[in-house]
Amino acid sequence: MTESQALLRLQEIDLELMRLNAQLKAMPQQKKLAAIQAAEKNLAGKLKTIVGQRKDAEIDLDDNEAAQLKTKDRVSEIQAEAQQRAQDFRGVRDLEAHLTALAKQLEKLEYKHRELEGNLEKLMKAEQNANDLAAKLNDERAVQQESYERQSADIMARVRVLAAERKAVLADISQDVADKYAKAAKRFGGLAVERLRGNMPTTCRVKLQQGIFGELMRGPIITECPYCHRMLVTEGALVDE
């Protein structure tokens, strides 16, 4: 295979690979997988927030319980002190006032405790719901991936064949030409190479003036179209196919 033939075949392979990749991307499973991935990402962010809030709620509840315990201990201490100071009326009265204040404080802590328990329960339920949804999304992703792989098997087999041929074709192309092809393919969306038929390039289809045509025919077989600047194969230009 000549270099010009290899170059043209390379473009044919790449165009077919583009078509096959487009088919793969258009498969309904791909759209569903993309939607699942987006949902998983969104859920992961929400779950992270919920877990953080749940941990904070647990800390708040622990702090509340510690405060209640400390308050109850202080009540016990004051009650014991009041018994020891039974003959000191003023001292007992002060201790009773202190006990009353502690009782109110304990009442507030117990009320807050119920509120914190309710909040923690809601957060734990939200966390469980999020984990359940994550498990469902994971299962659905596995189902869609299996379906995609099964239905795309023929296409993927063709892609592997073309990829192997592409590697072989590239071996017949110089690095300089391969580099030019890569740049042109990127610039022109895959349509990087055209052939010369008579005095007209097959892609841009702008007739060459006689002088330009003659100059191209005297130059290298692989050149550049003076009009569209794609790579141009002049080999066989005078032959109608």
Phi-psi region of 3 (alpha: psi -120 to 50; beta: other; left: phi over 0): alpha
Question: Residue 239: pLDDT above 70?
Answer: no
User: Cα–Cα distance between 230 and 104 in angstroms, integer?
Assistant: 87
Task: Name the band, by pLDDT with cuts 50, 70 and 90, for residue 87.
Answer: low
Question: Residue 241: pLDDT above 60?
Answer: no
Question: Dihedral of CA 54/59/62/67: which sign?
Answer: negative
Task: Name the band, by pLDDT with cuts 50, 70 and 90, for residue 83.
Answer: confident
β-pairing, 231-233 with 193-197?
Answer: parallel
Total number of domains constituting the chain = 1
Question: Residue 139: pLDDT above 70?
Answer: yes
User: Cα–Cα distance between 16 and 162 in angstroms, integer?
Assistant: 8
Lowest mean pLDDT among 93-107, 134-148, 198-212: 93-107
Residue 68 domain flag: yes
Residue 111 domain flag: yes
For range 107-115, the mean pLDDT = 95
Pseudo-torsion of CA 154, 13, 168, 24, nearest 10°?
-30
Q: 54-68: per-residue pLDDT in tens?
A: 999 999 999 999 999
At residue 50, what are phi and psi to the nearest 5 degrees? -65, -45
Residue 239 domain flag: no
Residue 174 domain flag: no
Residue 115 domain flag: yes
Residue 125 domain flag: yes
Residue 98 domain flag: yes
User: Cα–Cα distance between 81 and 102 in angstroms, integer?
Assistant: 15
- Cα–Cα separations (whole angstroms), residue 89 to 47, 51, 63, 75, 98: 59, 54, 36, 19, 14
Q: 159-211: per-residue pLDDT in tens?
A: 999 999 999 999 999 999 999 999 999 999 999 999 999 899 999 999 999 99
Could you tell me the pTM of the whole model?
Answer: 0.64
Residue 56 belongs to domain spanning: 28-151
Residue 143 domain flag: yes
Q: 212 by DSSP, 3-state: which?
A: helix
